[in-house]
Each structure stands twice: as structure tokens, then as C-alpha cells.
Structure 1
């Protein structure tokens, strides 16, 4: 089983759309208003162009993806990088591939950007995402209700490097 971590290209968009759409079925069932849950090909292509969209390939086929936002969604709350659009091919869930991709991205991003950690967000009403991220070492640091029916959302951060790397005193 050959594994490769890399940045996605626009040529990957159709595969990314299939993985994201299938992986976000629970998000749609919960009627959460997450752009990735109802993404079309154009939105996936835009995500790949506008951000750092990472993939894990196994034997040449993309099995998992996560995006490092180049936007400033969390301005004023934290300067740490924000991860979004995490998805694993449902046929591969439970095999540890998503965890491997997150581990690799957390390490790579924090080392490249010289920051101590990363952040992400999830909804309290999702039945398993919040506990999953907390088991991975993420800690809640901010909660809010966006007022769109999603209920309480939580921002989480994970310290990947402690010590000499830049920290975020504002969070």
C-alpha cells in the first residue's frame, strides 16, 4: 500500500467532490450549513485554487482530504492556521487514513508556518465530530451560535509544537 501526501490540483476536483459529498452525508442530514456539505464542482475547484487543499493518496487514489484556509475566518480570535473541509472516503473510514492525513498536515503546516498549533471548527449537534477531535488532542477555546440553525459551534485548537515556535498570545 503506497501512501502519498500532496497538495491537490484542479485535476483532482471531481474525486474531491465525490469524497466530500459522500463524507458529508451526516452534515446534510443534520441540516448544518457548511459549504463543503453541498459543494459543487466549481466550489471544489475554487477551494483548491484559493487554499492549500491536501490529500492522502493510497495506491494512486485519493482517500482523504483537508484544507488549510488562506482566508482570515478567525481574525481577532486566533492567529493560528485554520483547517477545514476534512473528509475521508466513507469506504475507507475506520482504517486510520484520516488520522494519518491530519497528523501529517498538522506537523507540516506548523513547521512550515512556524506556529505552535492549528485550529478547526465543528458543530456541537454533530454526534461524533467534537469527541473525535478532542481525542486527537484538540481543545475547545471559543463557542458561538452563528444564528443560522446550526446551533452551538466550537472552535478548537491543538498544540503541535511547544517551546521555540511562535505562539498566539491573543487566544
Structure 2
């Protein structure tokens, strides 16, 4: 019987991480979405693993899903005052089996809420070019707080509250890439 293992990626995982990310984001790139994940290189993946908290779900020695947490202190221009998650990918041959949900719930509840005590976290998604991501995140309880034009798409920043009594809307902040065309949506 297979055992699923949650762990933090290491530099040695970089080639397998890149393979997983490339296969999972191939269809996203084909939609005309130009996210860093759609054009990741081994150097980018290695830097991500070294500088952020890249969580992987491993089964029988194979990386099957990943999600990276970027903490506000990792950059002088963070997306938000709360942690930002990105590079969420699951092996395409395993889609529809709840693997991505399993990893996302682990990151949300075990790591961000229970371990790091994060009141909330943020993520970005496509509001126009991707056919189902925005709706999926809304169904999972994420709320929009910022929109911006991005290469013919509408980039949507979303947040999810993990510890309501500690959540402060002001900490969401305004992302460093905001401009006159961007708008903060009501929280």
C-alpha cells in the first residue's frame, strides 16, 4: 500500500520538482497565461526551494503535488503582509483524485494555521484566461481583494482567513505591482 508523505523540498528535489511543475503547468501556458510557473527553469526551481518553503506531497518516492509558501520577510516588496502561496501543482496523470486538495488542506491547516499561526494567507490566480481556477478558489472559501491587468488577463489576488480573531484586513496591504489600472476590491 502506498504511503503519502508531506515534507519540505530540498535542493536535491529540484529536477523532480521542475518535472512536476512543467507537466502540471503546460496546459496553463497553452491558455496564454505567462506565470513564472509556466516557464520555470531548474535555476528558478532551485532558488524557490532554497529561499521559500516548498512543500511537497510524495508517494512511493515520487513528487505528486507541490505548493510553495513565500513569507513576507523573504522580500523587500512582498505581495502581502500575510504569507503568499504559489506554484501549486499536481501531477496531471493523478488529477481528480483529491491529491491537490490533500496538500492544500495540509498547508492551510497544519503548516500555516497550526504551526506558523498565520491568521490568513494570500494567492494569485487568473480571473479571465483560466476557465475554472477562480471559481475553485471561491468554492474553497477564498475572497478577492485585488485585481490588476496582466498580459491580457485579469490577475486576481485572493486571501483566506485561517484564524478569524487575529485577521487584520490592513495587513493584506497593496501589492508592489499595483498601478493606476489596478483596484483593491472590497474585503
Q: Same fold (TM over 0.5)?
A: yes
Structure 1 residue runs of 5 or longer lacking an equivalent are none
How many residue pairs are counted as aligned between the two chains? 166
The aligned residue for residue 87 of structure 2 is 85
Residue 74 of structure 1 and its aligned partner are, at CA, apart by 7.1
Q: Which runs of 4+ in 1 moved over 4 A?
A: 72-75
Task: Report the 3-state secondary structure (helix = DSSP H, G, I; strand = E; otherwise coil) of the residue aligned with 1:19.
Answer: helix
Structure 2 residue runs of 5 or longer lacking an equivalent are 173-187
Residue 32 of structure 1 and its aligned partner are, at CA, apart by 1.6
Mean Cα deviation higher: 30-39 or 15-24: 30-39
- The TM-score with structure 2 as length reference comes to 0.82
1:52–1:117 CA distance, 2 compared to 1 (3 A): same
Match of 2:139 among 120, 135, 142: 135
Task: Report the 3-state secondary structure (helix = DSSP H, G, I; strand = E; otherwise coil) of the residue aligned with 2:136.
Answer: helix
- The TM-score with structure 1 as length reference comes to 0.89
The aligned residue for residue 60 of structure 1 is 61
Match of 1:144 among 141, 145, 148: 148
Tell me the C-alpha RMSD between the 2 structures: 1.7
The aligned residue for residue 161 of structure 2 is 159
The aligned residue for residue 169 of structure 1 is 169
Instruction: Answer yes or no: is the 8 Å Cα contact 1:78–1:168 preserved in 2.
Output: no
